[in-house]
Chain A
Amino acid sequence: MTIYELTKKLNLSVLNKGCLDSAIKGCYVSDMLSDVLANGKEGNLWVTRQTHPNIVAVAAIKGLAGIVVTGNKPVEAETLEKAESEDIPVMGTGIQTCEMAGMLYNLLLRHPEAGQP
């Protein structure tokens, strides 16, 4: 599934200009940045409550597909600009982390075929 398809399915708001065509390969849920540096995988969608610019460096280094910020937490303008310059899409949702993780589990891992166009 691409980022674009996911934003439609889960009604995520795209907060910046980033590459929406990249294919999502699984997801990782964490608010600790060293944990994502250690355990995130290339192509993962990252679900987090962290919003400061360091998250962009983490996503860029790990080659993550995008970042989803849960619970309607506002994202700093500097973070969105940095992410745009790295071509990393940042998405927002009012849904909380636990529910978002459940939805992503169903879409990306349990029934990945449902995400095929």
Chain B
Amino acid sequence: MADLGKNRIEGSYPLKGGDFSEAGAASKELRSQLAALGIPSETIRRAAISAFEAEINVIIHAVAGTLHFKVEGDRLIITVTDMGPGIEDIELAMQEGYTTAPDWAREFGWGSGMGLPNIKRNSDGLKIDSIIGEGTTLEIIINLKSNGKNDDIRAD
């Protein structure tokens, strides 16, 4: 694998509520930057799924937001901030199948209530901060040096 410390990867993407046209742009760029670093494809997949589901949540549930990603040491940090209604009960939102997605999102095949559980399953760390009536911030961590999810990072 490439020396991660010498390769700064970073990106910032605006997201607009109700607008699917740019959905996936951030996760696509993330995939290609990680591939250029020689990151294993399974790790790239976990990162892309997490980023994409987070993008979609802003588009479906919020007014506007930003997805930002960067590599720090051996970790990829994806931060998704939005202005939106916030999440009242985070524990409930994390349950598979729980959804408040509107009909228009369901018509697009979203709103199965699997987005946050997908992010949780594919990441090595997930922190959700939310203020009702203001917005939500997700911090998603992916260990780039592990072989699979939640593997310990061994000291070299």
Contacts and interface: CB of A to CB of B under 8 A. Distances in A.
Q: Are A and B part of the same complex?
A: yes
Interface of A: 31-35, 37-38, 48, 50, 52-58, 60-63
B114 A35 contact: yes
B8 interface: no
A38 B23 CA distance: 18
A57 B23 contact: yes
B69 interface: no
A80 to B, nearest CB: 15
Contacts of B150: none
Contacts of A38: 114, 117-118, 121
B20 A52 contact: yes
Interface residues of B, number: 24
If over half of B's interface residues share one DSSP class (helix, strand or loop), that class is named, otherwise mixed; here it is: helix
B110 A33 contact: yes
A57 B48 CA distance: 10
Contacts of A56: 24
A54 B114 contact: no
Contacts of B114: 32, 34-35, 37-38
B49 interface: yes
Contacts of A33: 56, 108-110, 112
Q: Which of A37, A52, A55 has the most CB of B within 10 A?
A: A37
A61 to B, nearest CB: 4
B52 A37 contact: yes
